Structures are given as structure tokens and as C-alpha cells.
Amino acid sequence: MSDIKRINCGARMSDVVIHNGTLYLAGQVGEPGANATDQTRQVLAKIERLLAENGSDKTRILSAQIWMADMADFADMNTVWDAWVPAGNCPARATGESKLATPDYKVEIIVVAAQA
């Protein structure tokens, strides 16, 4: 049986859970009130940091779930995403519209990645 490692485990959730060389990141959000473009940049920077701190990087992302408060911001989010995702290493991805934790959040991204 493999060990499960929980990073920054709080009362409700962990930032990252690692099992069998796979990283499961909690949903990441940006600064409340910022527009979708800025929040997407902030979220991707957080994801990149969490991956690096745990032996991975954005070329090793297996899947991404993107939740948007309003699909009207889809093109703005995609502009940032497309510039960030490494060519030839695009993960499986789904995007949907949903109410997020507060109305000030525009984008939430959840990723699963392999460790290096």
C-alpha cells in the first residue's frame, strides 16, 4: 500500500494530496474582485508554485478542470491559459460555468499532475 501525503492539511482540505506519484491540487482561485484575466494569471502562478514545491511542473499536468462564474469570460481565460500551457504538453481539460465560493471569484482551476 502506498503512503498518502497531504500538503498544508487544514480542517477542511489540503492544498495538495500526493499518492503513487500523482499530485491532486485543491481548486485554486485568484484575488477576489480582480477580472477574469488577472485571476487566471494568479491561479496559474499558484498552480505552478504548488507543482514546483512538490516535484512536478506544468508539463506534467494530466488533467485540468476549470470552473468559471460566467462563460462570458471564457475567451479572456483562454487567452491566458493558451499562453501558459506548454506546447505539446496540453492536459485533458474541461471547462464549465458554476457559482463559485463568492461572487468575487471569476475562475477556479483544479489540476492533477504527475511527479517528475
pLDDT for residue 2 is more than 80: no
String of DSSP letters for the chain: ---EEEES--SS--SEEEETTEEEEPPEE--TTS-HHHHHHHHHHHHHHHHHHTT--GGGEEEEEEEES-GGGHHHHHHHHHHHSPTT-PPEEEEEE---SSTT--EEEEEEEE--
pLDDT given at position 26: 98
Confidence bin at 1 (pLDDT 50/70/90): low
Rounded Cα distance, 18 and 41, in Å: 24
Domain boundaries, the chain: 4-114
pLDDT, averaged across the chain: 97
pLDDT, tens digit, 9 for 90 and up, residues 5-44: 999 999 999 999 999 999 999 999 999 999 999 999 999 9
Q: Which fold, 4-114? A: 60s Ribosomal Protein L30; Chain: A; (3.30.1330)
Q: Is the pTM of this model over 0.85?
A: yes
pLDDT given at position 29: 98
From the list 116, 114, 71, 76, the residue with the least C-alpha distance to 94 is: 71
Rounded Cα distance, 37 and 30, in Å: 10
pLDDT, tens digit, 9 for 90 and up, residues 38-92: 999 999 999 999 999 999 999 999 999 999 999 999 999 999 999 999 999 999 9
